[in-house]
């Protein structure tokens, strides 16, 4: 290994340290630290025997090696610090500090470790003597960094001619000439002086892998490598130094490089020559480029043989785009003369002409559009070049609203029918944007080319586009220019469809009035989807258009094919989409539409209820829609959909019922007050004989939302009462029939059992044979009545308790005479038992019949409700009662009255009612006979007294009648339910087809007419002659008046709020109008002052011009006088 002295240590190469390490390892002179202590646990006898001399020599060698290592590390650390300081000094431009660092030992090839950027790279970008100093110090100037950049690339990019001459190693004298002035003679001298083209002048930038550099070149860890990375530009792969100089239009560097042998046709990876990247940094690094430098650079390259390449890369900024962006007419002309392609796209996807439109460069656009390029296709003008979206220059000018640009494009031969990527032509765009000046220019060419009705990709003309964008003036201009109004697309869509779909009222009105013949022909024409213009307006919620179309003859009763299985109507669509105004317009035009049925069996009310549209439901019900109506295909009536899809349905229906009761605005106490009760919501079809459908439909929905409480509404109660009154004769007939049956049964029982038990003679008028026949006649009429009820109600009739009570009473009444008059087979108890049960059931049924009366039924139903609760409680505590009954039977040794379980249970139940009979049952004498212990017997009786007589009886009383008002409400609801059921049954009987066939036609007609009610009644509270006030009970009448007053108060509040809002609007308009007037006055004053100031400035400028003219004239006169004098 070669030895170096201390003075020569700074010049040691990196290989010296590698040789030192290898020799040390080969001689085994070094032990790893810590190895000598690893085997301390071993015994001394296992260690090898080493002589003392060897140990001393080994220790000396180790100390020498450690001393050399420390010295080397100090030296390396010092070199790194010097290199870092050198790089920082170059970056700061401090050449004096550079000289000092180089003198102290900094390496001229100092390199930033991040991207291997050398000191020469950094110095090449700085305009001082740094690069010369480095080269003189022995720096390698041909190195490239990680990205393939050489110092020559960076010097050319920075525009430093001095550095380029230095890097190309020109003679000093030639360098001085170059720095002084770049004359043709100097350039010729450069060409002559070079023997060969330097290799590095055409070296391209290529991405390199990081190679190992000597340690003496590396910088320290404290060096800010990221700042160096950010300060240097990144070049495109394949760029030469000439490309880098052209990117910033450094024309002097371009001249020098071309003279030194740079290839003007060298291409990068995108196939771009240097002339293709002239001014590229204007976009890449936002470098400010002088337009004159740009022009000179292009000219120099063109003279050197450089040509624009038709490279395949898309969206790359070209010199032409740069010149346009710099607004340099001369540069654009120079670039066009050099053969640039005006149709290439920049990074934004625009051509140079599109950039002209964007920047409003009129002169440059005219230059490019009218330049003679020698186009290969003479049928396509250069001005028809498209951007990335397919828009031509004409389309771009139309979109930008630039009239001059449109005129230039049209003057250059631009096509008005060239389609963009979205299928739109310039004609369609002009119609869409609504600039009348531009449209006028486009229409002139369109008329000349007969392309006024040219179709876009959708098959639409410009008239369609104007309608879609609500351009009424454009529509008028197109129609006056001769656009066809009868045009249709491939989907049979005409202009009326488009106008109605987009809700363009003014356009639709103009089109409908333009040609009455065409209007009548096309107004009801469907498109492919079967939608007429009216359907489009309904679907998109344009009420004004709907009203206009209907007024012009559009049909409301049209079939709309939503799908293959769903054919509906416009009102169905409006109801499902909650289009209230449209629904009202359609109904006002044709009231029959509310009863239309689609193919799914739904009416408009079904759709509104299913979609939860409360306003539409209210409107349809007020106009006569039927809540109970259903068709063959519709399984459920609308009331079911309402209950399932509208929130708080019961409250909603109550609100609707409230609106059916109204007054004429007068107080109830006033004599001319009238309260109108409208039953049309309950009876939508006045011709329908069955008027209970709606109320029955409400009850059939169940009681999940407490809808049974609707029966308590005054509207429903009054309707049921009046309906009951109209059907009262039929009820009296049924009541009389049953009364005859009960009378006959009771008299017959008295005839059989009373006189027999009393052993008296039976009077002739109580003859059992006569009353038996009377009983059978009554049973016959009741049987006929029951058969009719069964026929009408089908199986539902057997679900009621009253039905089985009546059946039991009739059957036992039929059996009773047969048992009595037959030979006694099973004793005399059977006839008595049958008679007892039959009488009891008949009187029960009589009680239920009497409960049909509005005033009496309430108590019967309350009785049933209380009895139901009492039975539930007794069933719950029946085990306790049975236990006491068995205890009493055992204690009394089965003696009377506790002789058996059943007798004991009955006696215990009787004791619950305080029937204790304590003195006779539990006295001392009798108790000792029957009970072993009188104390136990009395304890059991005491327990019974407390638990049953006191606790249980009070519990029954408290639970059964805990809330009288609630119980009263439930009783009323149950009474009304029974009333509804009975009235429905009577109505079904009267309207049944069998009855109509049996009875005479005139009699049945009169019968039906008597039970039908009026849809609207009027109550006059202060008139004694008002028939309805007399008929209705006071409670119902007062409830109606109260509801009417509440409705009137709500209406008054709404009117008051509307009036208050109108007042506020008026105040706001006055204030805003005053402010606008004041602001207008201020604006007028300011504009007047501005105009006066402008006039004053103009006068001043004219006065100054006259003064200057006079002074000049005077001087000329004096000069001429002096010359003549001389």
Q: Mean pLDDT throughout 617-623?
A: 91
Higher pLDDT, 207 or 83: 83
Helix (H, G, I), strand (E, B) or coil at 108: coil
- The DSSP H or E segment spanning 1119 is helix 1034-1125
CATH architecture of the domain 71-263 equals Alpha Horseshoe (1.25)
- Residue whose tokens read 């007429």: 532
Closest listed residue to residue 518, CA positions, set 552, 559, 557: 552
The full set of domain ranges for the chain reads 71-263, 735-851, 867-922+931-962
Closest listed residue to residue 807, CA positions, set 846, 777, 838: 838
- Helices and strands: H and E segment counts in the chain: 54, 7
Q: Mean pLDDT throughout 848-863?
A: 70
Q: Mean pLDDT throughout 71-97?
A: 78
Q: Is the pLDDT of residue 967 over 80?
A: no
The encoded tokens of residue 468 equal: 């879609």
**pLDDT at site 919:** 53
Q: Is the pLDDT of residue 338 over 80?
A: yes
Output DSSP code: residue 216.
G
**pLDDT at site 274:** 94
Q: On the CB side of 52, how many CA atoms lie within 13 Å of its CA?
A: 0
**pLDDT at site 998:** 57
Task: Read off the pLDDT of residues 117-159 as tens digits, 9 standing for 90 and up.
Answer: 999 999 999 999 899 999 999 898 888 888 889 999 999 999 9
Q: Mean pLDDT throughout 867-887?
A: 75
Contact between 699 and 708 (Cβ < 8 Å)? yes
Q: How many whole angstroms separate alpha carbon 405 and alpha carbon 426?
A: 13
Q: Check the CA dihedral 352-357-360-365 and report its sign.
A: positive
Q: Is the pLDDT of residue 1117 over 70?
A: no
Q: Mean pLDDT throughout 691-716?
A: 85
**pLDDT at site 40:** 37
- Residue whose tokens read 């910033």: 248
Q: Is the pLDDT of residue 792 over 50?
A: yes
Q: Is the pLDDT of residue 1035 over 80?
A: yes
Output DSSP code: residue 754.
I
Contact between 266 and 204 (Cβ < 8 Å)? yes
Closest listed residue to residue 839, CA positions, set 814, 819, 811, 809: 809
217-231, 364-378, 791-805, 1097-1111: segment of lowest average pLDDT:
1097-1111
**pLDDT at site 873:** 74
**pLDDT at site 688:** 63
Q: Is the pLDDT of residue 337 over 80?
A: yes
Max CA pair span of the chain: 187
**pLDDT at site 501:** 93
Q: Mean pLDDT throughout 199-214?
A: 80
Contact between 322 and 283 (Cβ < 8 Å)? yes
Q: Rounded to the nearest 10 degrees, what angle do helices 403-411 and 393-400 cross at?
A: 160
pLDDT band with cut points at 50, 70 and 90 for residue 618:
very high
**pLDDT at site 480:** 92
Output DSSP code: residue 1017.
E
Q: Mean pLDDT throughout 334-349?
A: 89
DSSP string across 172-195? HHHHHHHHH---HHHHHHHHHH-S
Q: Rounded to the nearest 10 degrees, what angle do helices 649-659 and 638-645 cross at?
A: 120
pLDDT band with cut points at 50, 70 and 90 for residue 197:
low
**pLDDT at site 11:** 40
Higher pLDDT, 426 or 1077: 426
Task: Read off the pLDDT of residues 668-689 as tens digits, 9 standing for 90 and up.
Answer: 777 788 888 888 888 877 666 6
Mean model confidence pLDDT for the chain: 80
Q: Is the pLDDT of residue 812 over 70?
A: yes
The encoded tokens of residue 626 equal: 């039927």
Task: Read off the pLDDT of residues 505-539 as tens digits, 9 standing for 90 and up.
Answer: 999 999 999 988 999 999 999 999 999 999 999 99
Q: How many whole angstroms separate alpha carbon 968 and alpha carbon 859?
A: 9
Task: Read off the pLDDT of residues 745-756 as tens digits, 9 standing for 90 and up.
Answer: 888 888 877 777
pLDDT band with cut points at 50, 70 and 90 for residue 916:
low
Alpha helices (H) in 420-532, listed in sequence order: 426-433, 436-449, 462-468, 472-481, 495-502, 505-514, 516-522
Q: How many whole angstroms separate alpha carbon 642 and alpha carbon 780?
A: 45
**Whole-structure pTM value:** 0.69
Helix (H, G, I), strand (E, B) or coil at 562: coil
**pLDDT at site 859:** 66
Q: Mean pLDDT throughout 1017-1037?
A: 81
Q: How many whole angstroms separate alpha carbon 319 and alpha carbon 632?
A: 78
Helix (H, G, I), strand (E, B) or coil at 197: coil
- Close Cβ partners of 277 (under 8 Å, ≥ 6 residues apart): 236, 239, 243, 246, 247, 268, 319
The encoded tokens of residue 654 equal: 């109550």
Q: Check the CA dihedral 903-904-907-913 and report its sign.
A: negative
Closest listed residue to residue 605, CA positions, set 622, 625, 583: 625
């Amino acid at each position: 290994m070669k030895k170096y002295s201390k003075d020569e240590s700074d010049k040691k190469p990196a290989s010296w340290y590698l040789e030192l390490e290898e020799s040390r390892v080969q001689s085994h002179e070094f032990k790893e630290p810590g190895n000598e202590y690893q085997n301390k646990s071993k015994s001394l006898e296992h260690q090898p025997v080493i002589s003392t001399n060897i140990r001393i020599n080994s220790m000396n060698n180790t100390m020498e090696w450690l001393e050399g290592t420390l010295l080397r590390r100090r030296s390396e650390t010092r070199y790194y610090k010097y290199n870092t300081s050198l790089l920082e000094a170059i970056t700061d431009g401090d050449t004096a500090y550079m000289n000092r660092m180089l003198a102290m030992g900094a390496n001229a090839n100092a390199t930033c470790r991040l991207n291997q950027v050398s000191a020469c790279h950094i110095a090449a970008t700085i305009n001082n003597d740094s690069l010369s100093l480095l080269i003189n110090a022995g720096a390698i100037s041909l190195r490239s960094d990680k990205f393939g950049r050489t110092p020559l690339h960076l010097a050319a990019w920075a525009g430093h001619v001095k550095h380029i001459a230095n890097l190309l190693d020109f003679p000093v004298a030639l360098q001085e000439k170059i720095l002084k002035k770049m004359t043709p003679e100097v350039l010729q001298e450069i060409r002559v002086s070079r023997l060969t083209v330097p290799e590095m002048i055409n070296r391209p930038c290529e991405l390199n892998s990081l190679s190992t550099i000597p340690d003496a070149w590396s910088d320290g860890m404290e060096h800010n490598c990221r700042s160096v990375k950010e300060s240097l530009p990144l070049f495109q792969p394949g760029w030469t130094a000439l490309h880098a100089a052209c990117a910033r239009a450094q024309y002097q560097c371009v001249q020098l490089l071309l003279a030194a042998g740079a290839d003007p046709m060298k291409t990068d990876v995108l196939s771009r020559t240097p002339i293709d990247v002239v001014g590229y940094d204007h976009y890449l690094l936002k470098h400010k480029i002088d337009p004159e430098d740009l022009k000179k650079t292009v000219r120099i390259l063109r003279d050197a043989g450089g040509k624009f390449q038709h490279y395949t890369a898309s969206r790359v900024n070209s010199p032409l785009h740069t010149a346009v962006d710099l607004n340099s007419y001369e540069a654009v002309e120079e670039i066009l003369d050099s053969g640039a392609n005006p149709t290439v796209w920049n990074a934004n996807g625009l051509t140079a002409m599109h950039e002209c439109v964007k920047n409003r460069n009129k002169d440059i656009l005219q230059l490019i559009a009218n330049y003679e390029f020698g186009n290969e296709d003479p049928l396509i003008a250069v001005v028809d070049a498209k951007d990335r979206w397919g828009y031509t220059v004409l389309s771009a000018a139309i979109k930008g609203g630039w009239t001059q640009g449109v005129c230039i494009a049209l003057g250059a031969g631009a096509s008005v029918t060239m389609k963009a990527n979205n299928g739109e032509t310039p004609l369609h765009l002009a119609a869409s944007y609504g600039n009348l000046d531009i449209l006028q220019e486009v229409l002139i060419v369109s008329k000349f080319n007969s392309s006024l009705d040219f179709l876009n990709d959708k098959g639409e003309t410009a008239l369609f586009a104007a309608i879609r964008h609500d351009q009424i003036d454009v529509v008028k201009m197109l129609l006056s220019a001769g656009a066809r109004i009868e045009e249709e697309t491939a989907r049979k869509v005409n202009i009326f469809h488009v106008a109605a779909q987009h809700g363009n009222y003014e356009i639709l009105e103009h089109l409908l009035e333009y040609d009455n013949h065409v209007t009548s022909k096309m107004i009801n024409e469907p498109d492919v989807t079967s939608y007429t213009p009216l359907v489009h307006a309904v679907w998109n919620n344009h009420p004004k258009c709907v009203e206009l179309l209907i007024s012009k003859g559009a049909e409301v009763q049209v079939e709309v094919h939503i799908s293959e299985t769903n054919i509906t109507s416009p009102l169905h669509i409006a109801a499902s989409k909650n289009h209230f105004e449209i629904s009202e317009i359609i109904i006002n035009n044709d009231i029959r539409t509310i009863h239309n049925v689609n193919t799914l069996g739904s009416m408009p009310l079904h759709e509104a209820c299913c979609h939860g549209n409360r306003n539409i439901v209210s409107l349809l019900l007020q106009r006569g829609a039927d809540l109970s109506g259903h068709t063959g295909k519709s399984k459920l009536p609308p009331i079911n959909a309402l209950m399932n899809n509208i929130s708080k349905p019961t409250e909603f229906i109550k609100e609707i019922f409230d609106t059916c009761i109204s007054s004429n605005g007068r107080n109830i106490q006033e004599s001319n007050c009238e309260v109108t009760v409208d039953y049309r919501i309950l009876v939508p079809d006045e011709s329908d004989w069955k008027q209970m459908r709606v109320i029955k439909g409400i009850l059939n929905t169940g009681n999940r939302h407490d809808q049974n409480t609707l029966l308590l509404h005054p509207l429903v109660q009054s309707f049921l009462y009046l309906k009951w009154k109209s059907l009262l004769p039929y009820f009296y007939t049924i009541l009389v029939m049953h009364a005859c049956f009960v009378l006959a049964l009771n008299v017959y029982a008295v005839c059989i059992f009373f006189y027999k038990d009393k052993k008296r003679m039976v009077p002739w008028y109580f003859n059992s044979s006569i009353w038996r026949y009377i009983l059978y006649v009554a049973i016959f009429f009741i049987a006929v009545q029951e058969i009719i009820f069964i026929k009408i109600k089908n199986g539902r009739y057997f679900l009621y308790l009253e039905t089985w009570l009546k059946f039991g009473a009739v059957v036992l009444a039929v059996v009773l005479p047969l048992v009595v008059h037959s030979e006694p087979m099973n004793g005399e108890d059977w006839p008595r038992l049958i008679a007892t049960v039959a009488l009891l059931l008949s009187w029960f049924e009589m009680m239920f019949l009497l409960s049909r009366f509005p005033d009496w039924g309430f108590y019967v139903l309350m009785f049933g409700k209380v009895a139901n609760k009492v039975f539930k409680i007794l069933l719950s505590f029946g085990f306790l009662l049975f236990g006491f009954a068995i205890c009493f039977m055992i204690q009394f040794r089965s003696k009377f009255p506790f002789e058996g379980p059943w007798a004991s249970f009955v006696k215990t139940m009787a004791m619950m009612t305080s029937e204790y009979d304590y003195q006779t049952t539990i006295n001392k004498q009798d108790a000792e006979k029957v009970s072993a212990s009188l104390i136990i017997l009395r304890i059991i009786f005491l327990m019974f007294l407390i638990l049953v007589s006191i606790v249980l009886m009070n519990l029954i009383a408290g639970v059964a009648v805990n809330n009288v008002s609630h119980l009263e409400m439930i009783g009323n609801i149950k009474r009304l339910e029974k009333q509804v059921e009975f009235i429905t049954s009577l109505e079904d009987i009267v309207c049944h087809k069998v009855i109509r066939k049996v009875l005479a036609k005139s009699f049945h007609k009169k019968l039906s007419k008597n039970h039908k009610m009026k849809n609207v009644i009027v109550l006059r509270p202060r008139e004694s002659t008002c028939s309805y006030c007399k008929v209705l009970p006071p409670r119902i009448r007062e409830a109606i008046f109260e509801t009417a007053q509440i409705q009137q108060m709500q209406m008054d509040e709404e009117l008051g709020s509307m009036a208050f809002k109108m007042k506020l609007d008026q105040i706001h308009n006055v204030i805003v109008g005053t402010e606008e007037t004041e602001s207008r006055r201020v604006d007028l004053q300011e504009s007047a002052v501005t105009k006066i100031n402008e006039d004053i400035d103009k006068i001043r400028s004219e006065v100054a011009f006259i003064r200057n003219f006079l002074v000049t004239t005077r001087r000329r006169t004096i000069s001429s006088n002096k010359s003549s004098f001389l």
